[in-house]
Each structure stands twice: as structure tokens, then as C-alpha cells.
């Protein structure tokens, strides 16, 4: 009785704390927050610590554009927390934004974490959630949440493979009976693609471009396959020789060339996980295919390349950005499922 009352009076939350984006789902409300994982901090003029200036999209617009005294930082790098204090400040901001303060009971929180998280990081995530007002914290591995969000029956004795191409990492996991049977995680995702584009433009044109520009190029004309229709785009940066702003025209073939290495690493990681998969589950995957989630999976023709290289059916999830948070949200609504898939 008390438990069900607590459920009505509190806004239980599910949070996907990603390298690129943080999403929050509130029970009975749905998705309440979806913002870039970026924080702008200003150092105190008297040199006494720092204060948070902006969080989310507002802070993302400041990336690479800050004067001295202000830092726009992405506290989560390569899928792991690189800056604990800033991460905590960000988490608190998003939770406060999502959580209706007038509610009487403190919320229960499900937080999605990378499968390779260390116990120190687990404790840090748990503690920041508690200090931000959680009454109970459940950690769920991202691939598990993604699989639930993509509508797979994770509790069945059947093998399902999920590939999550995020900003910081690509996680590949085979799930059966509410557990991860085999998995691999590489520090290669959307960010590495952006870096590869920066390097390529620098080498080929002697022009330095920023991270935001590189991401824009990737999303607009980037492709995993050399066979698609050619697209072109103007890229603006700074000429490294003359030192002045310069515009170059780039083609999708060039950007494909720039992306060969990160794409190769992603395909390789899927291969390696398939090799480690027990035969009965491998047989299930042949029938059921691989489900692709994560923003990076939107790269043009990534599904085509994976299909060619593995010979398996590839399914893109309907909304790759929200699969993880909605999966965690489903677990929040189903305590039995939550107990099965979460861990200490
Ligand atoms: N249309 C697109 N084509 C290619 N990449 C894209 C596209 N749209 C978004 N991305 C990339 O998707 C990445 C963000 O994906 P997502 O939000 O799933 O990451 P995340 O969950 O924050 O990261 P992680 O799971 O690694 O912690 C970014 O690198 C972004 O540039
Ligand atoms: Mg993610």
C-alpha cells in the first residue's frame, strides 16, 4: 500500500547519462529532458572555485567559442566520467529540471551505465544521484536498456544482439534470459568519427576545423559506404598556412575516406563479439538479426556496410537516440523486470 502510494506521489526517473546526450524519462510523464551532456563553468574572479554558467544546448553552443575564464566541458569522455564534479552538477541540474519539486516523496531512479564501468565510477554515479535527491538507485547496463527500449524480449531464452553506436563508445552485446552473455565495448563512436574528419581536412587541405563543424559535416554528408550518391558541402575553418579563415568544398567520398578507420573498428568489434557468442545464441542471431541503436547508427549506409560484412539482417531502431532511456523507463514501470536487469 505504502509503496504504491509512493509511486503515485513521486516522479520516478530513468536517466541515460551519455557522452553526447543526457535523456531523462519520468514515470507517468514520458521523456522530460533531452539535452547535450555539456556544462559551461566560469572560474570565480577571485580564484575561488568555479560556478556553473549553463548546461545542455546552451552550453553546447559555447563549445570551442569560450573566452578565458569560461570552460565549456563535456564531463563524460569515451563513455566514462572524466570530470566527477561537473558530471554531478550536470546530473543535479537535469534531475531538478525533470523532477517536480512539489511531489512529496523522493524519486526512485534508474541510471543507465556503460557495461564496462568500474566500481569507483558506479559509486560516483550512485552517490551523485542520491545527493541529487534519489531515495533508491538502480543501475542498468546501457545495452540491456537499449534492447528493452527496442522492444526485444530480454527475458526469453533467445539470443538478441544489440549494437549501440554512441558518441563515446560502441557497445555490442548479446542478451538472453535477462543477462548480457557476451559483450564488447570500444572507445570509438561518433566523437572518433568527428576527430577523423578533423584530421583528414587538416592533412588534405591544411585547414583546421572545430569539433562542431566536423560533426555537422559527418551528419550532412558522412557515409560508411563509398557507393552512395555523391554529395558536397562547404567546410569553413582556419587556413594553417595563411592563418586566415578559409572555405573548402568537400565531397562525401572524401568524408567516407576519412571515416574508414572508425567504421572498420565498429565492424571489427561486431565480428569479435559474434566469434565469442555461444553457438545456440549465434543461431538465434542469424534468424533475428542485429538491432542498431545510438545516434552514431544514423550515419548513412552504416547498416548496409554491416549487412555486407556480417551477412546478417540489420534492423535500425525507430528512434536510436531514445531506445536506452525508454528501455530504462519500461523497467521503472515493471519492478520485477527492474530487479532482474539491474545490479548493485
Ligand atoms: N545523422 C547522424 N549521422 C551520424 N551521426 C550522428 C547523426 N546524428 C547524431 N549523430 C551522432 O550520434 C552521437 C550521439 O549519439 P548518442 O546520443 O546515442 O550518444 P550517447 O548516448 O550520448 O553516447 P554514449 O552512449 O557513447 O555515452 C554523436 O556523435 C552525434 O554526432
Ligand atoms: Mg548512449
**Would you list the domain boundaries of the chain?**
2-36+81-145+323-343, 38-73, 161-188+266-316, 190-259
- pTM for the structure as a whole: 0.92
Q: Could you give the CA distance from residue 33 to residue 46 in angstroms, rounded to a whole number?
A: 34
| Per-residue CA distances from 10 to 4, 22, 46 (Å) | 10, 21, 41
What average pLDDT does the segment 19-36 reach?
93
Q: Could you give the CA distance from residue 39 to residue 302 in angstroms, rounded to a whole number?
A: 30
pLDDT number for residue 28: 86
pLDDT number for residue 78: 78
Separation of CA 2 and ligand 1 centre (Å): 40
Residues with CB under 6 A from ligand 1: 18-21, 79, 166-169, 189-191, 215, 218-219, 222, 294-296, 298-299, 321
Q: Which of 80-89, 90-99, 130-139, 320-329 has the highest mean pLDDT?
A: 320-329
73 HSE (CA, 13 A, CB side): 23
CB 115 within 8 A of CB 140: no
The conformational region for residue 27 under phi > 0 = left, psi -120 to 50 = alpha, else beta, is beta
Q: Which ligand has the nearest atom to the CA of 319?
A: 1
At 161-211, the pLDDT tens digits run 999 999 999 999 999 999 999 999 999 999 999 999 999 999 999 999 999
At 296-333, the pLDDT tens digits run 999 999 999 999 999 999 999 988 999 999 999 999 99
Q: Could you give the CA distance from residue 207 to residue 243 in angstroms, rounded to a whole number?
A: 9
pLDDT number for residue 334: 93
Q: Could you give the CA distance from residue 254 to residue 223 in angstroms, rounded to a whole number?
A: 10
Same fold, 2-36+81-145+323-343 and 161-188+266-316: yes
Multiple choice CATH, 190-259, 3.90.640.10, 3.30.930.10, 3.40.1410.10, 3.20.20.70: 3.90.640.10
* CATH 1.10.1130.10 holds for 2-36+81-145+323-343: no
Q: At what angle do helices 252-276 and 190-205 cross, to 10 degrees?
A: 140
Name the residue with the closest Cα to ligand 1, atom 21.
18
Separation of CA 295 and ligand 1 centre (Å): 3
Amino acid at each position: 500500500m505504502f509503496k504504491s502510494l509512493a509511486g503515485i506521489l513521486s516522479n520516478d526517473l530513468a536517466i541515460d547519462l551519455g557522452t553526447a546526450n543526457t535523456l531523462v524519462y519520468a514515470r507517468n510523464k514520458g521523456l522530460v529532458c533531452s539535452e547535450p551532456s555539456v556544462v559551461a563553468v566560469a572560474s570565480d574572479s577571485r580564484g575561488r572555485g568555479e560556478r556553473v554558467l549553463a548546461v545542455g544546448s546552451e552550453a553546447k553552443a559555447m563549445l570551442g567559442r569560450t573566452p578565458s575564464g569560461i570552460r565549456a566541458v563535456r564531463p563524460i569522455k569515451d563513455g566514462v566520467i572524466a570530470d566527477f564534479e561537473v558530471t554531478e552538477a550536470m546530473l543535479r541540474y537535469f534531475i531538478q529540471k525533470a523532477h517536480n519539486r512539489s511531489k512529496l516523496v523522493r524519486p526512485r531512479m534508474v541510471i543507465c551505465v556503460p557495461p564496462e564501468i568500474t566500481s569507483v565510477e558506479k559509486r560516483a554515479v550512485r552517490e551523485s544521484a542520491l545527493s541529487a535527491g534519489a531515495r533508491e538507485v538502480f543501475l542498468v547496463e546501457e545495452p540491456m536498456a537499449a534492447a528493452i527500449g527496442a522492444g526485444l524480449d530480454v527475458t526469453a531464452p533467445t539470443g538478441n544482439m544489440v549494437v549501440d553506436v554512441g558518441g563515446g563508445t560502441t557497445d555490442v552485446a548479446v542478451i538472453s534470459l535477462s543477462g548480457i552473455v557476451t559483450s564488447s565495448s570500444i572507445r570509438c563512436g561518433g566523437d572518433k568519427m568527428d576527430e577523423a574528419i578533423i584530421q583528414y581536412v587538416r592533412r588534405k587541405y591544411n585547414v583546421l576545423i572545430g569539433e562542431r563543424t566536423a560533426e555537422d559535416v559527418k551528419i550532412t554528408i558522412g557515409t560508411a559506404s563509398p557507393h552512395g550518391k555523391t554529395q558536397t558541402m562547404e567546410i569553413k575553418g582556419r587556413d594553417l598556412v595563411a592563418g586566415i579563415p578559409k572555405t573548402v568544398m568537400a565531397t562525401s567520398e572524401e568524408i567516407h575516406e576519412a571515416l574508414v578507420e572508425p567504421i572498420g573498428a565498429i565492424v571489427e568489434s561486431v565480428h569479435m563479439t559474434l566469434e565469442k557468442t555461444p553457438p545456440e545464441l549465434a543461431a538465434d542471431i542469424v534468424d533475428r538479426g542485429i538491432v542498431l541503436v545510438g545516434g552514431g547508427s544514423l550515419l548513412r549506409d552504416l547498416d548496409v556496410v554491416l549487412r555486407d560484412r556480417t551477412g546478417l539482417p540489420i534492423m535500425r531502431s525507430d528512434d536510436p537516440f531514445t531506445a536506452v532511456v525508454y528501455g530504462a523507463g519500461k523497467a521503472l514501470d515493471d519492478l520485477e523486470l527492474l530487479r532482474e536487469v539491474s545490479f548493485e
